[in-house]
Structure 1
């Protein structure tokens, strides 16, 4: 881990205008790297890929595992017993599959609804206009607990986009009192995200350094 960056992040969070939860984005990181997190006071990690999570799950010693990537319905069954939150619920069929799989193991799963606030075709997330209906459906499922919103904002997103996301969150929170997290901000924009209302951030390369992806044949 990059000690200087970790210190900078923790100092910023300590001075933030409201409590902020750090969920370290651990895509491509080894279990040994991930297990350094608790020593720095970071007790939650987020994985993007089901296969990667399964491959290193037995070696992970971090208390909270979140799933933060796009999730196919046919892979839900592999992770519901391993994660404490799914941050990427973006459609009703995914919500219903999580409900089905959690009911089978008598578990209530914390979930965030992912919103594509930037309208980018390359990114997952429901549209802001679809959010009310999806939130209504999620809140009615007995084995899902609606905890808020998540978004991956475009690079160089204007302040107005962060503010729009915060307004969506505030409106959601008014109706669903269980909604407490606005998950936004990664290594490059966590400061702006927090100052614009996010209370959960997902830094990755800031903590661990740039990712090195395995070469493909």
Structure 2
């Protein structure tokens, strides 16, 4: 199976999951996650109609952007992994979307860097819905307070929420993570509606995106089901 074949299969599964949930498949965006994959794989996916790609690591994303930007300006990048404030300058240079905002300090620094670049960026607030301490994201109890303050940053176009659900073969706790985001979305519309309409919900990856669609995901982040198993450099 080629990357294009895999994308076609994933799109068909997205459409089927949407119809099963009584939703319009056109309302669900596929974000291919190209981390650890070379620029050539990104171009294969782009030939199948994908134009925005998710990357976890800023340094890797920057390298691919620099390699492809001149000849392929239609390709854009979404940073979906945890971001340290000292990397905000790099993100402000090229990224079109940032899905892992989890602190006021980071919002302030990213906005400052974007102002310097004369750019704006679409932003999602990452929510830690599983409560796992090793995961990034703002805690559910702190999310409303953070989100209320994001309207102060002109360069951050706040679109909605993102989460990485519990990694489990049992759909019940995974679905519970997704439902917590939906519940928070409704609360934010009541309590922070002046910041955003909170319409974007980035939920679901290769192993659980159909369940995420059933709970209302508008973006699904799919990596291995498109590009195949990831290969990481061996430890020294």
Same fold? TM cut 0.5: yes
Give structure 2 stretches of 5+ with no counterpart: none
1:150 equivalenced with 2:151 (yes/no): no
User: How far apart are the structure 2 equivalents of 1:76 and 1:111?
Assistant: 13
Q: Deviations over 1:127-173 (max 9, x none)?
A: 11111111111122111111100101111234222212111123324
* Structure 1 equivalent of residue 8 of structure 2: 7
Question: Helix, strand or coil for the counterpart of 2:167?
Answer: coil
Question: Helix, strand or coil for the counterpart of 2:93?
Answer: coil
User: How far apart are the structure 2 equivalents of 1:179 and 1:132?
Assistant: 12
User: How far apart are the structure 2 equivalents of 1:163 and 1:193?
Assistant: 9
Conservation of the 8 A alpha-carbon contact between 2:100 and 2:137: yes
Question: Helix, strand or coil for the counterpart of 1:129?
Answer: helix
Number of corresponding residues: 217
Conservation of the 8 A alpha-carbon contact between 1:145 and 1:178: no
User: How far apart are the structure 2 equivalents of 1:26 and 1:111?
Assistant: 19
Task: Normalising by structure 2, report the TM-score.
Answer: 0.86
Question: Helix, strand or coil for the counterpart of 1:113?
Answer: strand
Give structure 1 stretches of 5+ with no counterpart: none
Conservation of the 8 A alpha-carbon contact between 1:80 and 1:98: yes
The alpha carbon displacement at 1:177 in A equals 3.9
Q: Please say which of residues 169-178 and 48-57 is displaced more in the overlay.
A: 169-178
Question: Helix, strand or coil for the counterpart of 2:112?
Answer: helix
Question: 1:83-162 residue pairs with structure 2 within 5 A?
Answer: 83-156=95-168, 157-162=173-178
The alpha carbon displacement at 1:4 in A equals 4.4
Q: Which has the higher helix share?
A: 2
Q: Deviations over 1:43-96 (max 9, x none)?
A: 210111111112222223352210000100001101212111110000111000
* Structure 1 equivalent of residue 218 of structure 2: 199
The alpha carbon displacement at 1:212 in A equals 0.7
Conservation of the 8 A alpha-carbon contact between 2:160 and 2:196: no
